[in-house]
Structure 1
Amino acid sequence: MTVRRALTALALMASLPAAAQQQAAAPAVAPLPRVALDTTAGRIVIEADTQHAPVTAGNFLKYVDGKRLDGVVFYRAVKVAPQFGFVQFGTNGDPKRVLPPIKHEPTTQTGLHHTSGAISVARFEPGSARGDFTISVGDQSPSLDADPSKPGDNLGYAAFGHVVEGMDVVEKILDTPVSPTATVNGAFKGQVPQQTITVVTARRVPPAP
């Protein structure tokens, strides 16, 4: 850009109202990435918040981009009340699928919460999360959020996005009858769906315009 053109551009900026100048100077924010889980129960589209939870959302996208979620199942459905609970899917410790654990991003840091449709990463102790994910049905904030006022492990779970399409599919999975005796690796008795619901593919789709 020549000096003359630069001066002209500055003069035009100076003639704009203050609000317009701020809008013109503000950098464009890239749309958040979206992922479609095409399951045997229907399609679920998730928007991953890489802006507020870059580590946790980025970890989910690594599993998606590596096709590590293709063929996994929804192995847990915890229904506390009608349209309230969560479903869980993921690698379930499969050594051929899991990636290294990630740093914990508590909700007090990200500003995200476990509202209905929120997707979160399952964990044991903070910093142990890998490739297992839950989707909330019903508002479960603050019970699953971090709460520094509580004793012990009060860091909650790391929410990193939300369902933007297909909550009816999530609710259908939550409503699937569970086995009274089946377990997953000896855990989740009374929470394992009788019907196998599989993630056929997990792929990025175009973000919101």
Structure 2
Amino acid sequence: MEEKNRVVRMETSKGTMKLELYATRAPKTVERFMTAVNAGKYDGLKFHRIIKDFMVQGGDPQSNGMGGGSVKFEGSDVKHIPGVISMAAQQAHVDQSDMQFFIMTSTSDQLDGNYTAFGHVTKGMEVLGAIAATPVAQAPWGECSRPVEDVCIVKASEILD
């Protein structure tokens, strides 16, 4: 019997998105993400990195995929197109973060097969666009990606049918 995809309602300070997660394509990643969602670990966290015409990144920035809580790289056959959700990692093919994810705002073929894409936005692409349109400033590491205003995940919760 094929496992059913999981669904998350993500309320943000810019509106609400609905996410569908691919339980059979990236089972460990989906399970880890859902454990954090159901424990309320994303509630109150920020989208702390926004790169224009690329992606928005949220979750716990202290969770970098190095050490105790990281998840082994699963890969996936999902293309990194607008609305696709993927797990952050220090670099391609390494252990991924246990709490940081990013949502694509454009297509990026170079990420395909290198980062674990595990779901997509099914409702609220306009919310993703509003998050992506948040003005940014230079981050301490030199990248112009730090939002100048807080964009928060108010609450993430699983939708059960």
TM-score for both structures, normalised by structure 2: 0.89
1:72 aligns with 2:45: yes
User: How far apart are 1:190 and its partner, in Å?
Assistant: 1.4
Q: Secondary structure at the match of 1:71?
A: coil
User: How far apart are 1:99 and its partner, in Å?
Assistant: 7.0
Q: Which of these residues, 71, 88, 101, is aligned with residue 122 of structure 1?
A: 88
User: How far apart are 1:194 and its partner, in Å?
Assistant: 1.0
For 1:1-209, what aligned pairs fall within 5 Å after superposition?
27=1, 29-79=2-52, 84-93=53-62, 100-106=69-75, 110-125=76-91, 126-140=94-108, 142-146=109-113, 156-179=114-137, 181=138, 183=139, 186-187=140-141, 189-206=143-160
Q: Residue deviations 1:33-58, cap 9 Å, x none? A: 10011011000111111111101111
Count of residues paired in the alignment: 157
Aligned-residue Cα RMSD (Å) equals 2.0
Q: Which runs of 5+ in 1 are unaligned?
A: 1-26, 147-155
Larger radius of gyration: 1
The sequence identity of aligned pairs, in percent, is: 28
Q: Which runs of 5+ in 2 are unaligned?
A: none
Residue 18 of structure 1: aligned partner = none
The structure with the largest strand share of the pair is 2
CA contact (8 A) 1:123 1:130 kept: no
Mark the CA change 1:134 to 1:114 in structure 2 (over 3 Å): closer, same or farther. same
CA contact (8 A) 2:8 2:157 kept: yes
Q: Residue deviations 1:137-180, cap 9 Å, x none? A: 1222x21113xxxxxxxxx111001010111101111111112x
CA contact (8 A) 1:77 1:178 kept: yes
Separation in 2, partners of 1:128, 1:136: 17
Higher RCO (CA < 8 A, seq sep 6+) = 2
